[in-house]
Structure 1
Amino acid sequence: MDTWIWIVIAVVVLVVLVALVALAMKRKREVGRARAAEIRAEAAQVSPELRRREAEAKGAEAEAERMRAEADRLEQVAGERRAEVQEDRTALDAQLREADRLDPEATAPPGRHSATEG
């Protein structure tokens, strides 16, 4: 065979190989696109549930914040009431000391000492 026949055969083989490689690359891109479409479809199915759960989490956070604010308010109320009770206790103790001073022979109830006792 002549050289030019071998050159033609080589060129034909090369063209066939290039065509096969191009076809394989095209097929790979198509498979990739199909897989990407599947992934997007799966994500679209999950997305509403995820948004619902995010909304629930935000709702729980808001409720927790509301409860913290209520707890802070109640703590302030309790502190004010403790202060009022302490003032009342101090005034009562002063009254009892005055009563003990006026009547030193009266016996103090258990747990309370008269002003003259030490």
Structure 2
Amino acid sequence: MDTWIWIVIAVVVAAVVIAVVVAGMKKKQEHDRQQAAELRDTAGRQKVAVERRDAEARTVEAEAERVRAEADRLEAIAQERRQDVEAQRASYTDRLQKAHELDPDVKHRAE
């Protein structure tokens, strides 16, 4: 065979190989586009779920802050009442002690 026939065959083979490669690249690009679209769709659904959970978390945080504030208020009230009770207890003990000291019927220990 002549050289020019071999050149034509080589060009045809090269053209076929290039066509196959280009077709494969186009097919891969289409597949990648579909996969990207699916990922975007999934991400969109996740975004909605994440935003809902974020709103729920903020609501719970606000409730926790409200409860903490209420607990602090109640703690202050309890501390105030505890101090009042201690003062009353001290007054009660002092009066009882004075009553015992004044009462001639109460026996006192020798000092």
RMSD: 1.8
CA distance in 1 between counterparts of 2:73 and 2:8 reads 93
Corresponding residue for residue 105 of structure 1? 105
**1:66, distance to aligned residue in structure 2 (A):** 1.6
Structure number with greater CO (CA < 8 Å, separation at least 6) is 1
CA distance in 1 between counterparts of 2:55 and 2:36 reads 28
**1:43, distance to aligned residue in structure 2 (A):** 2.3
Question: Which 4+ runs in 1 deviate beyond 4 A?
Answer: none
**1:4, distance to aligned residue in structure 2 (A):** 1.4
Q: Describe how 1:74-85 pairs up with structure 2 within 5 A.
A: 74-85=74-85
Asked whether 1:28 is paired with 2:56, we answer no
Asked whether 1:10 is paired with 2:10, we answer yes
Q: TM-score under structure 1 normalisation? A: 0.83
Corresponding residue for residue 73 of structure 1? 73
Q: Kindly provide the amino acid, as one letter, of the partner of residue 49 in structure 1.
A: A
Q: Describe how 1:17-96 pairs up with structure 2 within 5 A.
A: 17-96=17-96
Structure 2: which 5+ runs fail to align? none
Q: Percent identity?
A: 51
Number of residues paired by the alignment?
A: 110
Q: TM-score under structure 2 normalisation? A: 0.87
